[in-house]
């Protein structure tokens, strides 16, 4: 398995894992429970999204598309932005 992404928080890790699973890829979150052991010390680099070696390139593409997507604040309301 390969690390395809390092998340900054648990919610982000689960969003990415869900995106990959919806695309038919197996994904696992490693290190999620290590954050609780750190306590008050800022923690980073613990949450890793792992995928099978064969799925690595496809997973990177999915994550890149998600990461580059721009958020339209009116989209959730079903409104069209004014031109």
pLDDT (tens digit per residue) in 23-73 = 999 999 998 766 555 555 555 567 899 999 999 999 999 998 888 775 655
Q: Give the pLDDT score at 69.
A: 75
State pTM to two decimals. Answer: 0.72
Q: What's the confidence (pLDDT) of residue 14?
A: 94
* Dihedral, CA of residue 68, residue 73, residue 79 and residue 81, to nearest 10: -70
pLDDT of residue 77: 54
User: Does the structure show a pLDDT above 80 at 13?
Assistant: yes
State residue 24 phi and psi, 5-degree precision. Answer: 90, 10
Q: Are 29 and 47 in contact (CB under 8 A)?
A: yes
User: In this predicted model, which residue has the larger pLDDT, 77 or 63?
Assistant: 63
Domain boundaries, the chain: 2-66
CATH of domain 2-66: 3.30.70
């Amino acid at each position: 398995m390969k690390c395809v992404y390092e998340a900054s928080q648990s919610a982000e890790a689960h969003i990415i894992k869900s995106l990959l699973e919806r695309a038919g890829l197996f994904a696992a979150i490693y290190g999620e429970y290590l954050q609780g052991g750190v306590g008050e010390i800022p923690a980073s680099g613990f949450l890793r999204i792992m995928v099978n070696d064969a799925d690595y390139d496809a997973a990177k593409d999915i994550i890149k598309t998600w990461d580059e997507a721009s958020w339209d604040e009116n989209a959730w309301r079903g409104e069209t932005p004014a031109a």
